[in-house]
């Protein structure tokens, strides 16, 4: 690329050419991997980004800032808006054990990771930050796995709901924690106030987003291309506004999707045009995450901490879902596979780590040194585990992972 730079003068700059080529390779890799192995395309996207990052791809600077940070926030916001739009709050009134499962698995994830790292000698402030990041599963990865495996059933639905709720908790707590990282908290009110601010601002922005979209759906067709463009534009605006006002952009999008579901309870699906645009953005997000996460420094000590983090987090999620499974509508086998399906870590976790790094030049890099390798590992391995869990639960239309070629669709490059 350095040689090309002497004579190549693209209108958008050389980094744009590099990213365009990388995304084209990622799209082809995802397609071929699913066709020949049956694994979801997200594994191919992530592996392409990881190989590029490890090979010295220079346009994935860490810590994230500027347009790269905005694109990551936008991609996460789009995914969380869709995930929030799948949750009907009235369901929790009839099945409150799902909320208990969510609270228990998220709390245990933070505690198991925290005490595991403390046992391995990590200082408390770093272990606390890593524990908060470990709460969040990845709605983006899980939704792509569900789409590519054509999965449906109680395990799939329960895993998506629990993954979305764990993301809500993690975004709230990390945003509040980073906001007061260098301020003393002398009483409970000073500790809870930042949480209330993040939730309040994000709720207001999300409510405005939901109200505007609800009014638009009264006069515009849900399948219209203009409705698609309006939705993307409004999510972009909400992403920029929420962070500027002291809230969390992804949290605002998640709450907006949940509120829109309550205002417009009829089932609604994104039109095809939005799905194509969102798929491109989400693929970019996966590649960006793996490129950035591959910048982390690996050594035996870090590898041990990452292995301990992954095992503690996986055990916590399975334990939390299983302990509160009684009366939740699923059997114990389904609870186990639900916990396994929540293994992936990806864009939300990277965004949370980025918040720590931006808030504390001393504490942030220490948290990132442990979490970035874990994100890189669990974006790929987590997707494979989730795929296997859905298959073992009997909810995938794929008869086996080895027969993925027989089930590819002609237009699957869009997804």
Does residue 6 form part of some domain?
no
> What is the structure's pLDDT at 404?
45
Calculate mean pLDDT across residues 196-212. 90
78-92, 145-159, 274-288, range with the lowest pLDDT = 274-288
What are the CA-CA distances from residue 76 to residues 181, 185, 363, 372 (Å)? 24, 31, 24, 17
Banded model confidence at residue 396, pLDDT cuts 50, 70, 90: confident
Q: Which of 272, 282, 232 is nearest to 26 (CA)?
A: 282
CA atoms within 13 A on the CB side of 325: 21
Answer yes or no: is pLDDT of 406 > 50.
no
Does residue 10 form part of some domain?
no
The domain tally of the chain equals 1
Answer yes or no: is pLDDT of 108 > 70.
yes
Banded model confidence at residue 53, pLDDT cuts 50, 70, 90: confident
Does residue 2 form part of some domain?
no
> What is the structure's pLDDT at 268?
61
Are the C-beta atoms of residues 296 and 372 closer than 8 Å to each other? Answer: yes
Q: DSSP readout, 359-404?
A: H-TTHHHHHHHHHHHHHHHHHHHHHHHHHHHHHHTT--S-S-GGGG
> What is the structure's pLDDT at 317?
96
Does residue 4 form part of some domain?
no
Query: H/E element holding 200?
Result: helix 188-219
> What is the structure's pLDDT at 300?
85
SS3 category, 265: coil
Calculate mean pLDDT across residues 1-11. 57
pLDDT digits (tens, 9 = 90+) for 242-275: 878 878 889 999 999 999 888 876 656 555 556 6
> What is the structure's pLDDT at 399?
44
Are the C-beta atoms of residues 113 and 313 closer than 8 Å to each other? Answer: yes
Answer yes or no: is pLDDT of 307 > 80.
yes
The whole domain housing 352 covers: 16-180+189-414
Q: DSSP readout, 30-78?
A: HHHHHHHH---HHHHHHHHHHHHHHTT--S--SS--HHHHHHHHHHHHH
Banded model confidence at residue 400, pLDDT cuts 50, 70, 90: very low
Does residue 7 form part of some domain?
no
Are the C-beta atoms of residues 382 and 141 closer than 8 Å to each other? Answer: yes
Q: Which residue has the higher pLDDT, 372 or 415?
A: 372
> Mean pLDDT in the chain?
84
Does residue 369 form part of some domain?
yes
Question: What CATH number should be reported for the domain holding residue 409?
Answer: 1.20.1530.20
Model pTM above 0.75: yes
Does residue 132 form part of some domain?
yes
> What is the structure's pLDDT at 37?
87
Does residue 9 form part of some domain?
no
Q: How far apart are CA 165 and CA 139, in angstroms?
A: 10
Calculate mean pLDDT across residues 338-354. 93
> What is the structure's pLDDT at 18?
83
């Amino acid at each position: 690329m350095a040689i090309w730079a002497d004579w190549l003068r693209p209108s958008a700059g050389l980094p744009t050419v590099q990213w365009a080529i990388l995304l084209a390779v990622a799209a082809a890799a995802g397609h071929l991997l699913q066709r020949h192995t049956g694994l979801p395309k997200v594994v191919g996207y992530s592996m392409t980004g990881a190989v590029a990052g490890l090979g010295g791809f220079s346009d994935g600077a860490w810590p994230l800032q500027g347009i790269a940070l905005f694109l990551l926030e936008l991609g996460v916001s789009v995914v969380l808006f869709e995930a929030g739009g799948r949750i009907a709050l009235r369901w929790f009134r009839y099945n409150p054990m799902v909320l208990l499962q969510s609270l228990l698995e998220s709390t245990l994830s933070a505690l198991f990771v925290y005490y595991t790292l403390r046992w391995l000698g990590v200082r408390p402030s770093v272990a606390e930050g890593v524990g908060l990041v470990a709460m969040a599963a990845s709605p983006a990865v899980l939704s792509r796995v569900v789409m590519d495996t054509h999965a449906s059933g109680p395990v799939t639905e329960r895993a998506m709901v629990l993954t979305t709720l764990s993301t809500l908790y993690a975004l709230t707590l990390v945003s509040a924690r980073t906001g007061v990282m260098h301020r003393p908290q002398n009483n409970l009110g000073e500790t809870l106030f930042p949480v209330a601010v993040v939730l309040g601002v994000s709720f207001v922005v999300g409510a405005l987003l939901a109200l505007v979209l609800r009014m638009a759906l009264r006069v515009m067709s849900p399948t219209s291309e203009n409705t698609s463009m309006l939705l993307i534009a409004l999510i972009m605006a909400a992403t920029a506004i929420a962070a500027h006002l002291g809230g969390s952009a992804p949290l605002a999008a998640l709450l907006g999707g949940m509120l829109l579901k309550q205002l417009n309870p009829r089932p609604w699906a994104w039109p095809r045009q939005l799905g194509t645009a969102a798929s491109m953005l989400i693929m970019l997000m996966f590649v960006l995450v793996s490129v950035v996460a591959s910048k982390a420094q690996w050594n035996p000590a870090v590898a041990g901490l990452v292995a301990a983090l992954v095992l503690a987090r996986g055990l916590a999620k399975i334990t939390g879902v299983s302990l509160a499974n009684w009366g939740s509508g699923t059997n114990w086998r389904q609870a186990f596979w639900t916990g396994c399906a929540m293994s992936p870590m990806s864009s939300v976790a990277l965004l949370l780590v980025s918040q720590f790094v931006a808030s504390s030049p001393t504490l942030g890099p220490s948290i990132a040194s442990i979490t970035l390798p874990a994100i890189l590992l669990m974006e790929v391995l987590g997707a494979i585990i989730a795929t296997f869990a859905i298959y073992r639960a009997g909810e995938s239309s794929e008869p086996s992972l080895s027969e993925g070629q027989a089930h590819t669709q002609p237009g699957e490059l869009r997804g």
